Chain A
């Protein structure tokens, strides 16, 4: 049995390890297109902040990790897949055949289509090479403009401030991290950042960038102008699916996969940020480009590839972010559901916020700001569908009783069982 995995991110690496765990004989080839030891993009901001060195970003610290598991790591970029012939052709022309294929190609960054984006001094923060380039330019006192205050932008924000630059953030949406924070949360984050000396423009975008002799000059949609020594672009990412054109593998935003992480083509699976798969609450398939989903996808896909029939229970959107010391987290359907109930506790002065969303007696979503203790139980309550019963009334009154509700509901559930 020959397993080919395209992509050396968490989904690909965990899949390779899982395959080896279930089949000591199989050939396992892990294909990656970056000239690096498999590393975590999650860790790049900590590299930029000088908290860790490059080895600290590696997915597996042991240099012999892959060799010891007889996982062959090869450099190359897939150009096309022929799912009938069971072959993958690389950009250099080499052809690889497979019995089972896992596509875990992740995402690529998308730059906004505005004049000047290809100028020198504009960097993404997505790859290890990007991080090296930013580290070279982002020196203390330099003027840096960060385009995009989404999840990735906000992680980068923290690292840039740690490097001592003078930072201005521009976010097109009306609030920071719009896909994980509501208006209250976004406002608190913005006020917090401003109190730490970061200038934040929301509800406007960079319309054009020009090169002055010394610096970059940015024109904003609201008419404002900014100058920058360095522009870091974090305006979004998209799944890497272009190479699948003509392959017959069905795609939408990402590669469509079923509850076994199978694509529409036989013997082809997809996992991680590139996969558009089942979600926990049974709605439309979605791309949940988060680390826990990548890990779960990689594991479940590999089990099925190895012949261990495994059904994936669906992913839940969970995120956690540290913005200059203010910790925010969001879980599931934090926007609420039709006919559901909502509870929130906001303390703007202390930058604390907790919002809970219910569907009947079940928690379906949550937002937390300034909370670091026992936050995982929000996932537990949502994903194990704990019937809150009497506790729901209590939580509507005081959302901070959430740990107590969790402990009581779980203890009594066991007593009943």
Chain B
């Protein structure tokens, strides 16, 4: 694994530039509903947490896929969905314990962060440095796979 997004919620101002950039990158439209990074506000916007896939080592989505539609990008380490191969069964959406791979009704497929091929547009768009590209070992929101009982498989 080479890359992942590092998110520092302390720096997030909830400007939602990341959501706009992500949706534009992946759909050609500025439509936050289709963004693969989502900003969750707390206390009526006083605080916010940008949230997306950490490209976790356990790769729950990849292992749950029945037809190998999720693979690891050799260059970036991103777990990415092959939309042509995805049948839309959604098993990955309940298997991912982070909830960062989601079903999109308008495509009938699942979608997740793919690190934009190595240059994540959310990080480019973030004006405060709340989203940067970094070593995955230091990424936030990483749940220790050991807690999920994988033991030595983690």
A-to-B contact residues, CB < 8 Å? 10, 14, 40, 42-43, 46, 51-52, 56-61, 280, 290-292, 295-296, 299-300, 303, 308-314, 318-320, 322, 325, 327, 329, 331, 372-380, 383-385, 403-404, 406-408, 410-411, 414
Contact = CB atoms under 8 A, between A and B. Distances in A.
B67 A58 contact: yes
A261 B118 CA distance: 39
Given A46-B87, A375-B94, A379-B95, A407 B51 contact: yes
A313 B60 CA distance: 15
Contacts of B97: 376-377, 379-380, 383-384
A56 B85 contact: yes
Interface of B: 9, 38, 40, 42, 49, 51, 60, 63-64, 66-68, 85, 87-91, 93-105, 108, 140-141, 143-144, 147-153
Given A380-B143, A384-B143, A384-B148, A292 B99 contact: no
B153 A379 contact: no
Contacts of B95: 291-292, 318, 376, 379
Nearest to A408: B42
Given A291-B66, A372-B103, A403-B40, A411 B88 contact: no
A408 to B, nearest CB: 7
A378 B97 CA distance: 7
B100 to A, nearest CB: 7
Given A51-B87, A312-B149, A380-B98, A320 B93 contact: yes
Closest 10 CB pairs of A and B: A313-B149, A380-B97, A374-B99, A377-B99, A376-B99, A40-B66, A376-B96, A46-B87, A42-B66, A320-B90
A10 B66 contact: yes
Given A383-B97, A384-B148, A295 B90 contact: no
Given A51-B108, A403-B99, A408-B42, A322 B90 contact: yes
Nearest to A379: B97
B63 to A, nearest CB: 5
Contacts of A372: 90, 93, 102-105
Contact of B151 (A313, A376, A380): A313
Contact of A411 (B9, B60, B104): B9
B148 A383 contact: yes
Contacts of B108: 51
A299 B101 CA distance: 22
Contacts of A408: 42
Contacts of B64: 291-292, 295
Most buried by A among B67, B152, B153: B67
A410 B68 contact: no
Contacts of B153: 299-300, 303, 310
Nearest to A414: B140
Most buried by B among A290, A309, A372, A408: A372
24 contacts: A14-B63, A40-B66, A43-B67, A57-B87, A292-B91, A292-B95, A295-B64, A300-B153, A303-B153, A310-B153, A312-B151, A320-B90, A320-B91, A322-B88, A327-B103, A376-B97, A377-B99, A378-B94, A379-B95, A384-B143, A404-B40, A406-B99, A407-B141, A411-B9
A56 B87 contact: yes
Nearest to B49: A407
B1 to A, nearest CB: 17
Nearest to A404: B40
A376 B98 contact: yes
Contacts of B89: 42-43, 46, 291, 320
A57 B148 contact: no
B88 A291 contact: no
B85 to A, nearest CB: 7
B46 to A, nearest CB: 13
Contact of B141 (A56, A312, A383, A411): A411
A42 B68 contact: no
Contacts of A373: 38, 99, 102
Nearest to A52: B87
A379 B101 CA distance: 13
Contacts of B42: 404, 408
A413 to B, nearest CB: 9
A324 B97 CA distance: 26
Contacts of A318: 94-95
A308 B154 CA distance: 12
Contact of A310 (B88, B140, B152): B152
A384 B147 contact: yes
B40 A314 contact: no
B140 A51 contact: no
